[in-house]
A and B are shown apart, each in its own frame.
Chain A
Amino acid sequence: MTNLLHPSRRGLLMAGGAGLLTAALPGHVAAQGAPIKIGFQLHRTGIGAAYGRWYERTAQAALKAINDGGGIAGRPVELLFEDDATDPKRGSEVVDKLTQSDGCDLVMGTLFSHVVMGSAPRAGELKVPYLVCSEGYHVASGALNRWTLQPGITDVRAQISTMAPWVAANLGKKVTMVFPDYAFGHDHRDFFTTAIQAQGGEVIAQIAVPPTETSFTRYFPQIPTETEVLYHVMVGPAVLTFVKELGEFYGTGAKPALFGFIDSLEAVDTATPGLEFLEGSHFWEAHPRVKPADAGEHEAAYRAAVGVDDNGASVSDAADVSTYSHMFSTWETLYFIKQSMEAAGYTGPADRQKLVEAMEAISDLPYGIERPQGAKRFNGKTHQVFGSQNISQVQGGKLVKVHTTTIEEGVYEDAVDYTTMSF
């Protein structure tokens, strides 16, 4: 219902019409009040829609907080959301529209990595900063360009590397992996396999499930019986089916320890009937969904701003579980934009190159309301940010944080130096 009644992007534009007029005037007038326009490439429809909704809510909350605090360099900020249908082709068209038609200063917000891959070339051609919230390794691997950065969320490679030591020490060394047979899953396969070997463990089987699959039971017998740890990660609408079927398969029989990425259960209530077998199993979380006892001082304010309760569900509907371990990235990215724009003395699209250089110069990002997930370290050469990770255990149907890694554990050797590339 909310979607139909939602004010359209065009409506927002008209509301900002007065701002547009001032933007046409010389620079010193703009500094007094012309809004900074940030385009948001949103998965409103398509398979990413469950994430997109929470990305939109979190970004709106951050926008309000920033504007209430005086905006960016004294200028108000506006967000323009445009649906990319979770499709790479439409994604690049959306970058185009936001930049050329709507006159946004930069574009941000993409989650699904194939959309990032499809859109980044266009952002590079338009020479517009493109800040993704995708956790893919695509940025730090060097596959993209000088204009694409990921300042709000740690990439999969770093996340995974920090998990291996804990898994090997606490759960077991013979690991079987179940993952989706596309890039996101392949990152898990490649980096975890290497990381667990470094801990003296080994991956004894890799089961890549085709992304079109809606039923998974038939693949479970391929899990070797000597498996000590079952490492699972799944994304998309079928995640709950996957976890439920895993439960039915093992049932009351002997089963390996389960270690999953929360992606398998993002936007899903851990107390859903049929998930009882997850009791005692562990999950990676970037940002613990259930507020930990030792949560930082800004955690409560962040949850209140976004409208999320202490269990990670919407305050207006307890059944509406958030994508808590991903959505903070949009909040942190907006604050990163604020910081770098103010550092660069950004006044308008002509300063975009200066803005990217200012972003590349950032390194330490301390904990604060700007970064509710935790302190971060930005690597200007690889355009990738690094933060700490968490491991939670399902206890009484709830995720309870049991371990937090350091930032250093996730840092790896640079694969690229974007700062040497031309703009």
Chain B
Amino acid sequence: MAFGPFLLLALMEGLVTAAVLALAASGLSLVFGVMRVVNVAHGEFYMLGAVLAWVVTTMIPGPPALAFVAALLIAPLIVATLAALADGLILKRLAYDPEATIVATIGLLYMIQQAALSLYGPNANPVRAPFEWRIQLPWFGYSGYKLFVVLAALAVLLALWLFMTRTKAGLIMRATQVDRTTACAFGINVDRVYMSTFALGAGLAALAGVLVVPIQQAHYLMGGDPLLLSFIVVIIGGLGSLRGTLIAALVIGLSDGVISMFFTPTLAKILATLLVAMVLVFRPQGLFGAKA
């Protein structure tokens, strides 16, 4: 393939990677930013979203678009409820101690994975995209749904930004993020803020899972990758900075796409990983945002 179309494809793929990253990372950015806890089970919430999307779309008859919209609403709600429960029953009792939280969320990860394997099975199952639309360029074809995911990611990030900056709930969350003690003194129910933040973060992960599943497949081990990538995006973007999350996702996604043009795949992966690591080494506070 000629260089031009090749570059175009690499950029489009990079953009889609960036969108998936931004979607998966937005929830983590929130939880990490506000609560300062490392939620190792974040990827499992994403997986649950995808698996529930499969369950919902196979249960609801009718056009795929309708079933998909139902999945978009139902899956995040279920996952958010589950997360709220986990917060109330486990994390709150640990007083959000960083180390204890890591062990507890590793425990959660095992439990969710096993439940998915036992109830859903080990197969990777496809979920139909809400619409079938292929773009046929002169050099290659491309999935229209992938481009939709890019737009959806932008919409979700925008909505989240509006929520955080323009609503009272968002203001309370940001206040808690900046100073927990003062927020407490001002009569903010920090426990409730934490629970809703954790639920919202998990819901966002599930939403990402639903949006991504027509591109990938619903599989019980699919949570591992987004977990790692989300952490990377959140750190590089700077703690609690949504703008940073978006830009970091773009940087990582596009560099991943473009590097893959010039090297054999595994070598490209090694170089892309090292590149991101080096960015962190030489800009430990992330590209944007306040010091961690």
Say yes or no for A23: interface residue by CB 8 A criterion: no
Out of A46, A208, A225, A241, which one reaches B216, CB within 8 Å?
A241
Q: Are B217 and A219 in contact (CB under 8 A)?
A: no
Say yes or no for B101: interface residue by CB 8 A criterion: no
Q: Are A217 and B9 in contact (CB under 8 A)?
A: yes
Q: Are A210 and B124 in contact (CB under 8 A)?
A: no
Query: How big is chain B's contact interface, by range?
Result: 35 or more
Say yes or no for A249: interface residue by CB 8 A criterion: yes
Say yes or no for B6: interface residue by CB 8 A criterion: yes
The distance in angstroms between the C-alpha atoms of A49 and B114, with both chains bound, is 12
Q: Are A237 and B265 in contact (CB under 8 A)?
A: no
Minimum CB–CB distance from A318 to chain B (whole Å) comes to: 13
Given A208-B264, A274-B126: A214 touches B225 (CB 8 Å cut-off): yes
Q: Please indicate the chain B residues that have their CB under 8 angstroms from the CB of A210 in the complex.
A: 265-266, 269
Q: Please indicate the chain A residues that have their CB under 8 angstroms from the CB of B261 in the complex.
A: 218, 221
Q: Are B128 and A273 in contact (CB under 8 A)?
A: yes
Q: Interface segment, B82-90, B137-145, B166-174, B231-239?
A: B137-145
Q: Are B141 and A50 in contact (CB under 8 A)?
A: no
The distance in angstroms between the C-alpha atoms of A200 and B279, with both chains bound, is 49
Q: Are B265 and A45 in contact (CB under 8 A)?
A: no
Q: Are A53 and B225 in contact (CB under 8 A)?
A: no
Say yes or no for A267: interface residue by CB 8 A criterion: yes
Q: Are B13 and A237 in contact (CB under 8 A)?
A: no
Given A210-B269, A218-B10, A251-B134: A49 touches B141 (CB 8 Å cut-off): no
Q: Are A213 and B269 in contact (CB under 8 A)?
A: yes
Q: Are B143 and A248 in contact (CB under 8 A)?
A: yes
Residues 335-357 of A at the B interface (beta carbon under 8 Å): none
Say yes or no for B122: interface residue by CB 8 A criterion: yes
Task: Kindly list 14 other residue pairs between chains A and B, CB separation below 8 angstroms, not including A46-B221, A239-B124.
Answer: A1-B118, A47-B221, A181-B266, A212-B225, A218-B10, A218-B260, A221-B9, A237-B124, A237-B217, A238-B217, A248-B142, A249-B141, A251-B140, A252-B136
Q: List residues of A whose CB falls within 8 A of some B CB.
A: 1, 3-4, 45-47, 49-50, 52-53, 181, 207-210, 212-215, 217-221, 225, 237-241, 244-245, 248-253, 267-268, 272-274, 320
Between-chain CB contacts (< 8 Å), 6 pairs: A212-B225, A215-B17, A237-B222, A239-B124, A252-B136, A320-B123
Q: List residues of B whose CB falls within 8 A of some A CB.
A: 1, 5-6, 9-10, 13-14, 16-17, 114, 117-119, 121-124, 126, 128, 132, 134, 136, 139-143, 215-217, 219-222, 225, 257, 260-261, 264-266, 269
The 6 A-B pairs at the shortest CB distance, nearest first, are namely A251-B141, A49-B122, A237-B219, A237-B124, A3-B118, A221-B1
